Structure 1
Amino acid sequence: MRILLCCADWGVPLGGCAGSSVHVRAMARALSGLGHEVRLVVSNADGPNLPPLPVTVVPGRAWWPAVRDGVERCRGRVARDVSPAATRVEAGSAAPGGAWQDFCPGSEKADVPSLKTRLYYEHLPMWFDRVEELAWHRRRFERVVGKALDEFRPHAVYERYALGQTGAARALERFGPGAPPFLLEVNASLADERASRGDLPGLFGRLARWQEVRQWRRADTVFCVSRTLGERLERSGVDPGRIEVTPNGVDVDRFSPDRPRGTLRSRLQAEADDVLVGFVGSLSPGRGAVEFLEIMAKTLPMAPRALGVVVGGGPLADALRRRAGELGLHRRVVFLGPVAHEAVPDLLVDLDIALACYPAQEAFYFSPMKVLEYMAAGLAVVCGRVGQMRELVADGVSGLLVEPGNPEVWAAVVAGLCRDSRRRAALGAQARSSALAGPTWGKNAARVVAAIEGVTARRGGRYRP
């Protein structure tokens, strides 16, 4: 079977380290591993971890850099590589040495950037990017996918949902009768997420929500990562019969307690009886890194042999390091920074306890990849009693569940595990067994193939490339 896998989101680098990048690569490799011919069309192929598969790139975020470079040439200056994501700050937040001073020479004396500065370094880049993203980039993507349909003749198109990116769906519509099945992977309501951050003001937000729902309804099958997200799709008018809940997977061969040990402990110069308590993930709001520090601040006085380990990078990295210093944790909590996903298994195998301490959220729709990787590595896992983690972890059997929002309770649980190596071993062994029986990338790929065969059969097997 020939499968065209698409990702038009220019914020998801195919070779990157973030969970979204890992997901795209993992599905491509898993489908290829089942013996299918897979080609990719993506908007961003940055990063060092590209899969060994044919990749076509449709680059995004081209308008504003071109305009900016022209303006800077007219001014006789060399353009700086400034993206809206890098320059966006809240009103009044600029301070000496901050982002605005970095991009605006001579502005050190100004506490608040001028209107002209904000227009050039914040508002114009944002407007150019949003128009390109929601109105124009999809047309370029559509042309490339249309060419792939003619030349590659795939049996199916599998796309990771990206905000406003209807190019693949439109290419299939233009293909006409006999177009291959269209399968859409939805990991979040990106319109809601972006609007909550203030990235989609006014008309942009309304356009994004309209495009999002329309895209969801177009697909022959929609794969979503949690039941909560599936319910969101149903409320948007997606036929429940077309929705399949497929949590994130894990590669149980790579994430294994049988890997060689010692990489992390050697790096930390940890003693044999030190208990390593880890957090792996993005250092971003709502992902649990802030909570991890607060929990460790209360755990360490009760567990003198415990050490905290934070693996990951993100916008809160500097603030978290400062907070660790304020809490007096700088000697007993280590920040390793961003780590390539391929290197994470060799770090996890040296941990004793791993935390997924997400804060309480009204609609927890995530499928935490880190929890599956913790469990596959045979770790004693402590998770918040929220969302999908209540399905993945059997409390007291394959891990421990704790109500979010109470660091004292978390600290008591973690400190108890630090003192009880037998219980850690028992929880870890059962976690490994659960991971082997649970969702893997291979199983998810098999479900995609089954869905393709099901759609083709319902159509009477009309598509004959």
Structure 2
Amino acid sequence: MSWRILHILDHSLPLHSGYTFRTAAILQHQRALGWHTSQLTSARQGGSGGEHLVDGWNFYRTRELATWWTRLPVLRQVGLVVGLSRRLRQVVQRERPDVLHAHSPGLNALAALRVGRAMGIPVVYEIRAFWEDAAADHGTSPAGGLRYRLTRALDNYLLRRVDAITTICEGLRADIVARGVPAARVTVVPNAVDLDQFTAVPTAAGMLAHQLGLTGKLVIGFIGSFYAYEGLGQLIESLPKMLASVPSLHLLLVGGGPQEETLRARSAQLGIEHRVTFAGRVEHERIAGYYALIDIMVYPRLPMRLTDLVTPLKPLEAMAQHRLVVASNVGGHRELIEDGKTGLLFRAGDADALAAQVVRLLRQPDTWPMMRLQARAFVEQQRNWPASVARYRAVYQQLAPR
């Protein structure tokens, strides 16, 4: 069947995040299956509404309600749902979708459920993360606080009422089922990579290495957003111990975020600022050159609900590009990395354990070729986007009688 699917999203390209990259992959591969997609973003995207063409994709935008009451706490969230519901009705009348596919947060699913029930269209709710956990980590809402509990209660309400549920990993699926949702109603559509886009990285460019002061050095690195839960502070703390064993080591951090100034300050306090390079944010089309400079990618995520439940995209991209990976043993990493085979894991939150695993891998270069091949094979066989997106077929088919 050639499905007509309307995706309801928090934000999209041209903003860059794991959320937007997953969305782009879903749209691309659903179109490759012959399905028609249309896409609508909430007012959190920003802008004045209308339509927006990005990389060949036409996104419907939602204008934020400009009323006095939407400036008040909680009522602002109500305003987002009201505005999105109104805009969604307009898009539905134009696109005539078979399915409303709402992606977290729950406010998007609430708007989709309101419109879907009124217009007789089934609703799929895709949970990519529990946003109350992300808000708690970012410091915008305390864990266990009123907003945290309200957001969790909203998700529980939605999970009981939508027609189908998808999520990105087994950790989130287990949490959803633990809330009383029948396991048969929850389908995992895992994160994956585009094998054509993420191939073996080119040989390290001498000019870029020279510009960054990395010529002739062993380089460990991280590429991504500098959020607290990524554990980059632990990586900085572990570096002096690594340097004691491997004096030629250098740390390359590519990206940016709220932790950057803290990381710079701590590097200076430890007297290792000359061993840490902050490369800043890099355009997506140039990122392969930075991967090529890094001998070992390090992902030191801290232990918490968010990291135990959610699988990240970045380690998969690194593995697809034949990069060596060392990561903390949070649940999200354990779904992706087999310790000793496709990478190495260390005890999350332990800077000494992190240092020991990196040094161990650096001292065993004879294991590198096989580990790289096995990591790439895992991605090719289990985490490619065509196979992942094809799982939506069974989800949509079960809604056909409606």
Instruction: State the TM-score, normalized to the length of structure 2.
Output: 0.87
Report how far residue 315 of structure 1 moved: 0.9
Is contact 1:360-1:386 (8 Å) kept?
A: yes
Matched, 1:224 2:167: yes
Report how far residue 438 of structure 1 moved: 2.0
- CA separation in 2, counterparts of 1:426 and 1:228? 28
Q: Deviations over 1:356-413 (max 9, x none)?
A: 1112335611111111111111111111122032232222111111122332232122
Is contact 1:183-1:221 (8 Å) kept?
A: yes
- CA separation in 2, counterparts of 1:406 and 1:360? 10
Is contact 1:255-1:373 (8 Å) kept?
A: yes
Matches within 5 A, 1:44-83: 44-45=44-45, 50-60=54-64, 63=66
Matched, 1:167 2:111: yes
2:353 equivalent in structure 1: 409
- CA separation in 1, counterparts of 2:134 and 2:24? 23
Matches within 5 A, 1:217-256: 217-256=160-199
Partner amino acid, structure 2, of 1:270:
L
Matched, 1:447 2:391: yes
- CA separation in 1, counterparts of 2:125 and 2:209? 42
Residue 18 and residue 266 in structure 1: after superposition, are their counterparts in 2 closer, same or farther (change >3 A)? Answer: farther
2:14 equivalent in structure 1: 15
- CA separation in 1, counterparts of 2:145 and 2:377? 49
2:7 equivalent in structure 1: 5
Residue 267 and residue 244 in structure 1: after superposition, are their counterparts in 2 closer, same or farther (change >3 A)? Answer: farther
User: Cα RMSD between the aligned structures?
Assistant: 2.7
- Superposed structure 1 runs of 4+ greater than 6 Å apart: 46-49
Matches within 5 A, 1:193-212: 193-194=134-135, 197=139, 199=141, 204-212=147-155
- CA separation in 2, counterparts of 1:202 and 1:283? 25
Matches within 5 A, 1:346-365: 346-361=289-304, 364-365=308-309
Q: Deviations over 1:244-297 (max 9, x none)?
A: 1233211222122154642752542422x4222111222111112111212223
- CA separation in 2, counterparts of 1:46 and 1:438? 36
- CA separation in 1, counterparts of 2:332 and 2:146? 34
Report how far residue 226 of structure 1 moved: 2.5
Report how far residue 435 of structure 1 moved: 1.2
Matches within 5 A, 1:381-400: 381-400=325-344
- CA separation in 1, counterparts of 2:131 and 2:297? 29
Is contact 1:38-1:53 (8 Å) kept?
A: no
- CA separation in 2, counterparts of 1:148 and 1:260? 47
Partner amino acid, structure 2, of 1:170:
R
Partner amino acid, structure 1, of 2:57:
L
- Give the match's secondary structure for 1:26: helix
Consecutive unaligned residues of structure 1, counting only runs of 5 or more, are 68-123
Report how far residue 453 of structure 1 moved: 2.0
- CA separation in 1, counterparts of 2:321 and 2:46? 28
1:284 equivalent in structure 2: 227
Which is greater in Rg?
Answer: 1
Residue 406 and residue 162 in structure 1: after superposition, are their counterparts in 2 closer, same or farther (change >3 A)? Answer: closer
- Give the match's secondary structure for 1:40: strand
Is contact 1:357-1:384 (8 Å) kept?
A: yes
Is contact 1:159-1:183 (8 Å) kept?
A: yes
- CA separation in 2, counterparts of 1:390 and 1:49? 38
What percent of counterpart residues are identical?
Answer: 26
Matches within 5 A, 1:265-414: 265-271=209-215, 273-361=216-304, 364-414=308-358
- CA separation in 2, counterparts of 1:332 and 1:439? 35
Residue 420 and residue 305 in structure 1: after superposition, are their counterparts in 2 closer, same or farther (change >3 A)? Answer: farther
Residue 34 and residue 234 in structure 1: after superposition, are their counterparts in 2 closer, same or farther (change >3 A)? Answer: same
Residue 313 and residue 258 in structure 1: after superposition, are their counterparts in 2 closer, same or farther (change >3 A)? Answer: closer
Residue 225 and residue 427 in structure 1: after superposition, are their counterparts in 2 closer, same or farther (change >3 A)? Answer: same
- Give the match's secondary structure for 1:455: coil
Partner amino acid, structure 2, of 1:226:
C
1:25 equivalent in structure 2: 24
Q: Deviations over 1:404-443 (max 9, x none)?
A: 2332232122123334433223322221111111223332
Consecutive unaligned residues of structure 2, counting only runs of 5 or more, are none
Instruction: State the TM-score, normalized to the length of structure 1.
Output: 0.76
1:130 equivalent in structure 2: 74
- CA separation in 1, counterparts of 2:364 and 2:153? 53
Q: How many residue pairs end up in the alignment? A: 390
- Give the match's secondary structure for 1:20: helix
Report the structure, 1 or 2, having the larger strand content. 2
Is contact 1:254-1:345 (8 Å) kept?
A: no
Partner amino acid, structure 1, of 2:40:
V
Report how far residue 170 of structure 1 moved: 1.0
